[in-house]
Amino acid sequence: DAGITQSPRHKVTETGTPVTLRCHQTENHRYMYWYRQDPGHGLRLIHYSYGVKDTDKGEVSDGYSVSRSKTEDFLLTLESATSSQTSVYFCAISDRTSGEADTQYFGPGTRLTVL
């Protein structure tokens, strides 16, 4: 199994509070991703990173920011949490090589509830 951990695994917070989720990998993979999973929507990409300090937006990035100061850590921050951000958040990594299939390896997920 790929070495990917997420913390916390569960969090309950209140509307308007800031929240930071952490993803940590031990695989030295270049690419890291944050997805959210909601019923009927599959997985939707929030942000991704293609190297230290190199990040870009996904399809549902509004209300979220990310940072990657080290290869192994990718942080997702909700600056001011809203109830619509209640979801399960997954981190994924890949060692994407040009011309090869981009297999992604997922962490165990963080269940976030915003009251």
List interacting residues with another protein (CB under 8 A): 4, 31, 40-45, 48, 50, 56, 90, 92, 96, 98-109
What sign results for the dihedral spanned by CA atoms 32, 74, 6, 1? Answer: positive
| Shortest CB 80 distance to another protein, Å | 27
CB atoms within 10 A of CB 45: 16
| Shortest CB 37 distance to another protein, Å | 8
Q: HSE on the CB side for 115, CA within 13 Å?
A: 4
Closer of 78 and 92 to another protein (Cβ) = 92
